[in-house]
Chains A and B, each alone.
Chain A
Amino acid sequence: MSKVIYFDNNATTKVADEVFEAMKPFLTDLYGNPSSMHTFGGQVEKYIRHSREAVAQLLGCDSSEIIFTSCGTESDNAAIKGVLAALPEKKKIITTRVEHPAVLATCREMQSLGYTLIELGVDKYGQIDLKELKSQVDENTAIVSIMYANNETGVIFPIDKIAEIVKTKGIVFHTDAVQAVGKIPLNLSKSNIDLLSLSGHKLHAPKGVGVLYIKKGTRISPFLVGGHQEKSRRAGTENVAGIVALGKASELALKTINGENTKVKKLRDKLENEILKTCTGAMLNGDKINRLPNTTNISFEFIEGEAILLLLNQFGICASSGSACTSGSLEPSHVMRAMGVPFTAAHGSIRFSLSRYNTEDEVDFVIEKMPAIVNRLRELSPFVK
């Protein structure tokens, strides 16, 4: 493919050049095992330590609270199952209906094993009712898991308030922050979050590395057992190159995070405003105010998302859709459905997610192409009179 305009950064991101350079030696010369007694292996350990400190700095926590994992999904599984295993007398889990499958499927699996699962609904802006949350958190609750920001709409939950509600009742709080880290500033030392998941490939590190933040004093059993790595909290030989890459990516994110809210947001807003203005039947999904600076989710009434994506693909434009057809399931996105987005719009929802590597020229190109794509499919649609 010649030209690629990558507006699908909530799916995955480009590995930053600096990150690739930083990890390369660990795939070539420095291949030792950090647990080894010899210098050749042992010398690698200090690079892992640097990475841990860099991630801790990005999250505003202590480096001893950082556990490296293989991905965001592992972190979510480890958090939820680890807490349930550590608190066997408690039998209730609280989450939301709009979580990523990594959390939702984990919770539902535990439900099938006998746990009570509460899935909080959301309003049309994708926000939960804090009063409902408050009334649900009780002594029998083992863990509350609510995402920091939604992957499809970019809607940001009031996580500090939520964490406080949960903390007041003495219950463990986990947040899947895979979409938030690197896009909005976090400071865990000042929050009541006990557990937080993040994923390297969403912030310009490669796939295959993630983090579980565990606040000091949180009761949790290890998800993977075996060796003594990560202070026996996560066994398995370290993915050294991936960990070093994530450390570098965290350093870069710390430097660029202000740009997310200015440069990236400006591009997103231009894209969104122009599309809403020029495309027939276009409407915004989610909470316009409390939202990640890089994400917009727009529905195009009476046309179908997969068809839009394939036409965008003809121009090398990458985006994603909540339509049923793109997933191979027969139902539109659970997030759109939970928000009560009508079927006429849910099947035609498109998510554009930008990054600091996108340019205004790219935004202009997409703005130019969209109206014709929408009109072409509307002409084919039996619902458009």
Chain B
Amino acid sequence: MWDYNKKVMEYFLHPVNAGEIENPDGVGEEGSLACGDMLKLTFKLGKDGRIADVKFKTFGCASAIASSSVMTEMVKGLTLEEASKITNKDIVDKLGGLPEQKMHCSVMGMEALQAAIANYHKSKGKGVQTKKIEGKIVCTCFGVTDKEIEKVITENNLDSVEQVTNYCKAGGGCGSCRGEIQMIIDKIRGKKEKGAETQAKPKKLTNLQKIQLIQRTISEQIRPLLKTDGGDIDLIDIEGSKVIVAFRGMCSKCPTAEFTLKDVVEARLREFVSNDIVVEEQSE
């Protein structure tokens, strides 16, 4: 059982600012059902340019609900510039601490707030601003980029992969990106990056060799990765350097399937078969 402190339980049992503002000035969403938590934040500005009203709706555990609620309290009355400076650490401090494995709940709060502020600047409350994908996806299971990982490492002074997982979920699914996360930590901590080992690529392939190599790469390199996550992939067709695939099982419902397609399937095929390979998902 989680050791939540009294304050966290209080915000969970009696959340303040729960709900949704009609005609808001800014809307932000972070997380997804697949990931197990999601936060929708809406705010309205007063005439003085400060946040006059702010509300949240959260799908998630006690710490997700408590983090969301306390964050809305913290930003009320702030200018957007002041609000944008709030970090996940501020949220955790305000709550008097969260269990290590629940730190990602506070990060979700911070990211939803930033998304809502971005939405205000861009479209003044119209549409919904979701997290902008900046940088390269490192964790395909939870769709976490290198930029986000760098941010939690610097802001919270993290030095292990496990901590990174606790703070932003990266590495908590299939685990295949843990090496890459370690490299980001090493880079920030000023350690020398290990030279990435590059696989020797065969020079020139016949069409038949290429097809066989693509099949082998999918079944030996890519499929096992997806299977650990309850997903699967089928090779549908190969036209020149265009490879058409279809996702099965969990992958077919995954919100980050698009990144899996590029960052896992295409990247592996380029690495093991040929640099010019383009992967497409079979159209319905």
Partners in one complex: yes
Interface residues in B, total, Cβ within 8 A: 36
Number of chain A interface residues as a range: 20 to 34
* B165 close to chain A: CB less than 8 A: yes
Among B18, B33, B57, B169, the residue within 8 A (CB) of A347 is B33
Cβ–Cβ < 8 Å partners of B18 in chain A: 379-380
Among A306, A328, A338, A342, the residue within 8 A (CB) of B62 is A306
Cβ–Cβ < 8 Å partners of A304 in chain B: 36-37, 59-61, 64
* A307 close to chain B: CB less than 8 A: yes
Shortest beta-carbon distance from B44 to chain A in Å:
18
* A344 close to chain B: CB less than 8 A: yes
A311 to B29, CA, bound (A): 25
Knowing A304-B37, A332-B36, A337-B250, say if A382 contacts B61 (CB, 8 Å): no
Shortest beta-carbon distance from A221 to chain B in Å:
31
Cβ–Cβ < 8 Å partners of A347 in chain B: 33, 36, 59
* A45 close to chain B: CB less than 8 A: no
Knowing A304-B37, A307-B12, A314-B13, say if A382 contacts B59 (CB, 8 Å): yes
* A148 close to chain B: CB less than 8 A: no
Docked-complex contact A307 and B65, CB < 8 angstroms: yes
Contact count A vs B, C-beta below 8 Å: 81
Docked-complex contact A381 and B36, CB < 8 angstroms: no
Shortest beta-carbon distance from B138 to chain A in Å:
15
Question: Digit string of A266-309 for contact with B (CB within 8 Å is 1, else 0)?
Answer: 00000000000000000000000000000000000011111100
Cβ–Cβ < 8 Å partners of B77 in chain A: none
The residue in chain A whose Cβ has the minimal distance to the Cβ of B105 is A325
Among A324, A338, A340, the residue within 8 A (CB) of B36 is A324
Within 8 A of B (CB), among A323-343: 323-326, 328-332, 337-338, 340, 342-343
* B38 close to chain A: CB less than 8 A: yes
Docked-complex contact B169 and A302, CB < 8 angstroms: no
Docked-complex contact B33 and A331, CB < 8 angstroms: no
The residue in chain A whose Cβ has the minimal distance to the Cβ of B31 is A382
The residue in chain A whose Cβ has the minimal distance to the Cβ of B35 is A330
Docked-complex contact A310 and B62, CB < 8 angstroms: yes
Within 8 A of B (CB), among A354-385: 379-383
Cβ–Cβ < 8 Å partners of A379 in chain B: 18
Docked-complex contact A325 and B230, CB < 8 angstroms: no
Cβ–Cβ < 8 Å partners of B57 in chain A: 380-382
Shortest beta-carbon distance from B188 to chain A in Å:
23
Docked-complex contact B36 and A380, CB < 8 angstroms: no
Cβ–Cβ < 8 Å partners of A338 in chain B: 230
Shortest beta-carbon distance from A369 to chain B in Å:
14
* B101 close to chain A: CB less than 8 A: yes
Among B58, B62, B142, the residue within 8 A (CB) of A382 is B58
A338 to B57, CA, bound (A): 30
Cβ–Cβ < 8 Å partners of A332 in chain B: 36
* B39 close to chain A: CB less than 8 A: yes
Docked-complex contact B59 and A330, CB < 8 angstroms: no
Shortest beta-carbon distance from B148 to chain A in Å:
15
Shortest beta-carbon distance from A322 to chain B in Å:
11
The residue in chain B whose Cβ has the minimal distance to the Cβ of A314 is B13
Among B2, B33, B58, the residue within 8 A (CB) of A380 is B58
* B34 close to chain A: CB less than 8 A: yes
Docked-complex contact B37 and A310, CB < 8 angstroms: no
Cβ–Cβ < 8 Å partners of A305 in chain B: 61
Cβ–Cβ < 8 Å partners of A303 in chain B: 59
Among A314, A342, A382, the residue within 8 A (CB) of B39 is A382
Within 8 A of B (CB), among A43-63: none
Question: Digit string of B24-62 for contact with A (CB within 8 Å is 1, else 0)?
Answer: 000001000111111110000000000000000111111
Docked-complex contact B33 and A383, CB < 8 angstroms: yes
Question: Digit string of B135-168 for contact with A (CB within 8 Å is 1, else 0)?
Answer: 0000000100000000000000000000001000
Docked-complex contact A342 and B59, CB < 8 angstroms: no
The residue in chain A whose Cβ has the minimal distance to the Cβ of B39 is A382
Question: Which residue among A323, A331, A332 has the maximum number of chain B CB atoms within 10 Å of its CB?
Answer: A331
Knowing A304-B60, A325-B60, say if A337 contacts B230 (CB, 8 Å): yes
Knowing that A307-B61, A330-B165 touch, tell me 6 more A-B residue pairs with CB under 8 angstroms: A311-B13, A323-B61, A324-B36, A325-B61, A328-B101, A342-B253
Binding site for A on B (CB under 8 A): 2, 9, 12-13, 15, 18, 20, 29, 33-40, 57-62, 64-65, 101-102, 104, 142, 165, 169, 172-173, 230, 249-250, 253
15 contacts between A and B (CB under 8 A): A303-B59, A304-B37, A306-B61, A307-B12, A311-B13, A325-B61, A330-B165, A330-B172, A330-B173, A331-B173, A332-B36, A337-B230, A343-B33, A380-B15, A383-B38
- Which 10 A-B pairs have CB atoms at the shortest separation, nearest pair first? A330-B172, A325-B61, A382-B40, A306-B61, A382-B57, A324-B36, A343-B34, A381-B59, A328-B101, A337-B230
